[in-house]
Amino acid sequence: MAKYMLIIRTIDDVPSASETVDLDQLLDEVGRFNDALIRAGVLLAAEGLDPDPAESVVVDFTGDAPVVVDGLYGRSGSRFSGFYVLAVADRQEAVEWAKRMPRTKGAMIEIRRVTTLDEVAQVAGDNRWIAEERAWRESTGQL
């Protein structure tokens, strides 16, 4: 099984779901979608993100030292509003689940495969921290 993250993006100039959709209806649709993911055994995590820029900061590492900036990352017209992490057979299955996701006009779902510890180990080689993470994952049943 591969892990895929479905990243929910909203477009800044499109009205939010709370402005265009009945909230009870949207919650019912999302609840049914989440239930289908759970029954299929593919849901690993799902969370919404606070849309208030006052609650967000960005730590920017593009300069010589980290700089903390108030606000949201990616002020280019879209922002992340939530995510799902699914354990599915392949990218196409992740796409099929994303197509079923209840969303409003202007939303986009970005799908990214989550890399495995083995893939990192192939690049990093014999590394103490990879070995420690592997041991932690095994002890918590996450490997």
For residue 4, pLDDT over 90 is answered with yes
HEC profile of the chain: CEEEEEEEEEECCCCCHHHHCCHHHHHHHHHHHHHHHHHHCCEEEEEECCCCHHHCEEEECCCCCCEEEECCCCCCCEEEEEEEEEEECCHHHHHHHHHHCCCCCCCEEEEEEECCHHHHHHHHCCCHHHHHHHHHHHHCCCC
- pTM, 2 dp: 0.79
Domains and CATH numbers, the chain: 2-115 (3.30.70.1060)
User: How far is 81 from 52, CA to CA, in rounded Å?
Assistant: 10
Q: Are 23 and 64 in contact (CB under 8 A)?
A: no
Mean pLDDT estimate for the chain: 85
Q: pLDDT-based confidence at 13, cuts 50/70/90?
A: low
For 31-65, the pLDDT digits (tens) are 999 999 999 999 999 998 887 778 888 898 999 99
For 111-125, the pLDDT digits (tens) are 999 988 888 888 887
Q: Are 43 and 112 in contact (CB under 8 A)?
A: no
Q: Are 30 and 135 in contact (CB under 8 A)?
A: no
